[in-house]
Amino acid sequence: MIEIFKGFVLFLFIDGSAQEYTPKDSLSDCLKAKREIARNLGESGRYSCAQGTLKVQDINGKMVSVGIVEE
C-alpha cells in the first residue's frame, strides 16, 4: 500500500534534477547520512536535506520511496 510521507528527505541531484530521494526520521538523521555519503563516496552528485513529501511503500518492513509529490 502506498502512503504519503511528509518530513525530511535526503535528495540526490544530478544535472540539476532530483534523481533519488530517501525519507529520514529527522534533520539530524538526514545530515548524518549526507556526511557519511560524502566521506565514503566523494563527489558523485549533490546531496541535499530538505523537507518534502514522498510517496512511500512498506517493503519487508522498510519504507521505500516510490515517487515524489510535487507541491
Q: Whole-prediction pTM value? A: 0.82
Helices (H) and strands (E) in the chain, counts: 1, 4
What integer pLDDT is reported at residue 54 of this predicted model? 93
What integer pLDDT is reported at residue 71 of this predicted model? 64
Share of the chain above pLDDT 70, in %: 97
Cβ atoms of residues 27 and 34 within 8 Å? no
Question: Does the pLDDT at position 30 exceed 90?
Answer: yes
